[in-house]
Structure 1
């Protein structure tokens, strides 16, 4: 039965198994902002929000390099001062377009797709249009405010083809809420994210036509919208058409952000301040607030955050390897997640029913910074050994536990698949004996360490399970970041 443009019908859309199985996606923020490639460093987005809550700063100091144009609008901002010094105070942001189009001529989609596959990713999401309004494809519906404001190559189409050719799914990001060519008003505080969404007829038609075109031309597996949409866009009709065309597709939770027809109330200063503080409080609860506005979605998208417990509904944590999504040349190794932190973050997310949409920020010519590429490859090598306990897995009865190894206590994360339990030990045990409190194996169970041969000797005690690693495994086979025990069949809960 075809989907209808009603919440009842749309909510009958089941979460596709492929998305639940996938666990790892690669996000790509690429555009004009990749030319200046700069934002203030030394503060994360969470820390910025905390400072904003106390009135100590504004969004003009955002660590997100893709927000370069917004940061540029603030007199006295670090971005404006640097821009004037390097490009001149009269150099407009849109003048980066010919520089970007010249740089992309040497880009090869296949090299990206090969790397993402090597990292173990099962899907990819590309920014087809970010808040600056520049598109990475040549749309049939041109920008009436700035004709020709697009990439000279069909970057969306080329990457889509390369990704699908390797058996991965392709999703598309689109900034439906913000487009600074239609409304150039600066975003100073969080309420401005919604107060500055263009609501005129031209933009309503423009962004809806873009989404319809992206679906028709590229058949994305994921519709990844950002900062809401004009409230008069009939998103339910869009979703029904999409599901009927592509039943295996999914939509994120950022189509229904904002106050809808009440957006005009944000012109009142105290309401605007109250709403900004409400957003900060909601973000501190770790679940994106769009779930509270009655719109339809298949998964939620906490940003630079994770959840503390197993969440019954599918979620996707999204973040960059550093503190920015777009490439920020000011970031150093110290700003990036270490390989160990990346692996443990990923395992933690999966154990709690989440996927990780891990962002890379290419340079203008499409080359990936060496530090980012190295981390993707390291993650891929770890998954080549331990991916059995990650992909196609589901949460167990609990996500977290501990492992006692000699005098050392290491954190545990659990997943399950096909009647087997996977116990991820964070760190490298220093003792051959591993004790897992509260884990009760069934009689005749087999225990093995992924990546090594043979089984572990074990015995069940009243307080938990005790297993023993062979000396050779202890010396040669263990990983510094995380190691995984498989218990088959899964212990009795």
Structure 2
């Protein structure tokens, strides 16, 4: 009896120990209450600037206009993508999206060259689009036969980028857009290769025409039918493959997760956070509202920004071009001034910028885009103390320009003026960042005038300038006489030393 008792006690203690370990390993349960215990790590609050890429099969056609949606609109009669496809590849029943895959060879892709460029640009986190809306995985997927190792370049792009990014000390990002695959291709449309059930492994389940109502990235209010259980299971397995295979520090999701059941979304978030906890990863998961509840991850705004300081860290994802995410023959880049001003404005409101670049189909990054990134890097090399590890001040800034809000609002925004100023702080140091160089030769800062700011100012420095500045704190503004020579070409950083 004594032996049996000891045996039972040992079994009880073992089971209790194992259950206790599982409890520790599974810190997050798949429900919103548990997942809301998430806390954004300090590295993300400090990083401020990251880079990712839209590059895949959709880059191959070498079309003008918008190409990241090429796989969808090549089948829509009368669209520019459809006309381009008919002229260059032929009818969509004979040469469909699947036939572009062998042409995606990535023959000049070099992950180390990309990573070196991102470091020179001043990025603190970077990575690829793991899977866009087209159902083609850029990693060695076991659940998706249409992946970059089995087809196309026959290389694990996600793995190569992970190695290159981590080798340079940056945090690693993978973006996932694959909830869009539900109804992305017209599987109901006769006269297309999407209609052929033999191609279902790429194009998805046969759906009725009603699913084609979803034509833009505006919030999806109706989806008919909703995703099947099978689709949701594969969707989740793809996320798990990326998480377990490549351990991203930041997992980024495009919108439209809201069409998935809440239970699948909860399982996904819990899996990522628990995996991260077990592997000492300070995880960041970004999402667009209303795909997840506030507090479950980090809010991301697509081509948009907060109008004021937001109490929690947040992200803007924007592209280096106003009109496209992936490479096109007529791609036009934003000016370096616009990109730097945007970064400053976002940081002043407690945000981070994730900037997209659009590599050429062969895997090289075009020179015009390189120049923009290097210009940002040069600016950050000089002025980075006002950006990295900074926090918002009492107010984000001043000036006449009101940034537009709402999904894709930045596409309608034309930039800032010489009167716009943004503030940041770091270790008690206040920085005033002028987004222009007034022709008058005097920079007035109204927020630091005697009637607006109750505090003494001891001295003022302009980063990159060796001249001693003349300044006077007047009733309505702090007036700084500008030096004869600009220290850089964009966004001028003044260190305001106070008591």
| Structure 1 counterpart of 2:61 | 36
Change (3 A) 1:125 1:147: closer
C-alpha distance in 2, partners of 1:138/1:401?
A: 49
Report matched runs for 1:191-340 at 5 Å.
195=223, 199-226=227-254, 227-228=256-257, 230-231=260-261, 234-247=264-277, 248-254=282-288, 289-290=289-290, 294=293, 297-322=296-321, 323-331=323-331, 335-340=332-337
| Structure 2 counterpart of 1:375 | 372
**Does residue 22 in structure 1 map to residue 47 in structure 2?**
yes
C-alpha distance in 1, partners of 2:260/2:64?
A: 28
Report matched runs for 1:319-468 at 5 Å.
319-322=318-321, 323-331=323-331, 335-402=332-399, 410-439=419-448, 440=453, 442-443=455-456, 445-453=458-466, 455-468=468-481
Asked if the contact 2:303–2:317 (Cα under 8 Å) also holds between the matched residues in 1, the reply is yes
State the 1:8 CA deviation.
2.2
Change (3 A) 1:74 1:402: closer
State the 1:197 CA deviation.
7.9
C-alpha distance in 1, partners of 2:447/2:262?
A: 53
User: What is the number of equivalent residue pairs in this alignment?
Assistant: 419
Query: Which shows bigger deviation, 161-170 or 143-152?
Result: 143-152
Asked if the contact 2:138–2:148 (Cα under 8 Å) also holds between the matched residues in 1, the reply is no
| Structure 2 counterpart of 1:284 | none
C-alpha distance in 2, partners of 1:39/1:475?
A: 44
| TM-score normalised to structure 1 length | 0.78
C-alpha distance in 1, partners of 2:74/2:179?
A: 20
Change (3 A) 1:147 1:245: closer
Report matched runs for 1:74-223 at 5 Å.
74-89=76-91, 90-100=94-104, 102=105, 104-143=106-145, 148=150, 151-179=153-181, 180=184, 181-183=203-205, 186=212, 187-188=214-215, 190=218, 195=223, 199-223=227-251
State the 1:4 CA deviation.
2.5
Asked if the contact 2:111–2:161 (Cα under 8 Å) also holds between the matched residues in 1, the reply is yes
State the 1:338 CA deviation.
0.9
- Residue by residue over 1:61-99, the C-alpha shift from the partner in whole angstroms, topping out at 9 and shown as x without a partner, is xx3x11001111211212111111111123211111111
C-alpha distance in 1, partners of 2:103/2:263?
A: 34
- Residue by residue over 1:349-385, the C-alpha shift from the partner in whole angstroms, topping out at 9 and shown as x without a partner, is 1111111111001111111121111100111111111
State the 1:131 CA deviation.
0.9
C-alpha distance in 1, partners of 2:466/2:178?
A: 51
Change (3 A) 1:310 1:138: same
Asked if the contact 1:178–1:196 (Cα under 8 Å) also holds between the matched residues in 2, the reply is no
* Paired residue secondary structure (1:246): helix
State the 1:209 CA deviation.
1.2
Asked if the contact 1:177–1:197 (Cα under 8 Å) also holds between the matched residues in 2, the reply is no
State the 1:192 CA deviation.
6.3
State the 1:296 CA deviation.
5.8
